[in-house]
Amino acid sequence: MSSDKSSEKKVGPGRALIGDFAPKLVELNDEVLFGDVWERPELSKRDRSLMTISALVALYRIEQLPAHIQRGLDNGLSQNEIIEAITHLAFYAGWPCAWSAIQIAKKIFEKTA
């Protein structure tokens, strides 16, 4: 008898935060976004992190930025690469977006130092 991995529920941060409140959203987050999309071999996790950080900065989605900056570091991005990406985005996404993002990045880097 083979085990059905789709029925296994991982307890991640999303599930711990809102699993009882919005179980379907957590299921999509864990199983589709992080279980499938982030695991596709066509792009490295490092590249996916750089793209995600860039999108969050450009769209001013700063509430999710700290977790993805940390994930980017964990996926092999350097602090200098993240700083450079944010600096580059200042001219495409806007100065306030970059200024807010760089302050968030600084706090994350200080915690990991």
pLDDT tier at 55 (50, 70, 90 boundaries)? very high
For residue 4, the model assigns a pLDDT of: 46
pLDDT tens for each residue of 77-90? 999 999 999 999 99
State how far the Cα of 63 lies from the Cα of 67, in Å rounded to an integer. Answer: 9
Residue 66 tokens, joined: 């700290």
Q: Where in the chain is the domain with CATH 1.20.1290.10?
A: 43-113
State how far the Cα of 38 lies from the Cα of 75, in Å rounded to an integer. Answer: 11
pLDDT tier at 107 (50, 70, 90 boundaries)? very high
Provide the terminal-to-terminal Cα distance of the chain, rounded to the nearest Å: 48
Q: Considering the chain, what is the average pLDDT of its residues?
A: 90
Nearest residue to 102 via CA among 72, 73, 62, 67: 62
Q: What is the pTM of this model?
A: 0.85
Choosing among 1.10.1060.10, 1.20.1290.10, 2.10.210.10, 3.40.50.300, the CATH entry for 43-113 is 1.20.1290.10
